[in-house]
Amino acid sequence: MGIPSEMRDFWANHRAPPLLIPSPVEERKVLNARQCTQASIASYFITADKTILECARRNSQMEEALRRQS
């Protein structure tokens, strides 16, 4: 059971946009959450870059050491 698809589609297409006006406190919460998310993503990529570069450096040093032994 449930809402018939014709009625659901009619409601979805003819609803007025909600009249929600965020308070300044809510706007600050959203802004802080967005900034925190952006900072987290940036730190993730910085850490990933450092890890990749460190592994590449170690691999390069290992290859150089193996060449010297041969």
The model's pLDDT over 30-46, given as tens digits with 9 standing for 90+, comes to 999 999 999 999 999 99
Amino acid 22 reads: P
Task: Tell me the CA distances in angstroms from 22 to 29, 30, 38, 54, one per residue in order.
Answer: 10, 10, 22, 46
The answer to whether residue 12 sits within a structural domain is no
The answer to whether residue 52 sits within a structural domain is yes
The answer to whether residue 34 sits within a structural domain is yes
Amino acid 10 reads: F
The answer to whether residue 64 sits within a structural domain is yes
- Residue 22's SS3 state is coil
Total domains in the chain come to 1
* DSSP for residue 68: H
Look up the domain containing 53 and give its range: 22-69
Q: What is the structure's pLDDT at 1?
A: 59
Nearest-angstrom CA–CA distance, 58 and 27: 47
The answer to whether residue 5 sits within a structural domain is no
The answer to whether residue 8 sits within a structural domain is no
Give the pLDDT mean for 48-56. Answer: 96
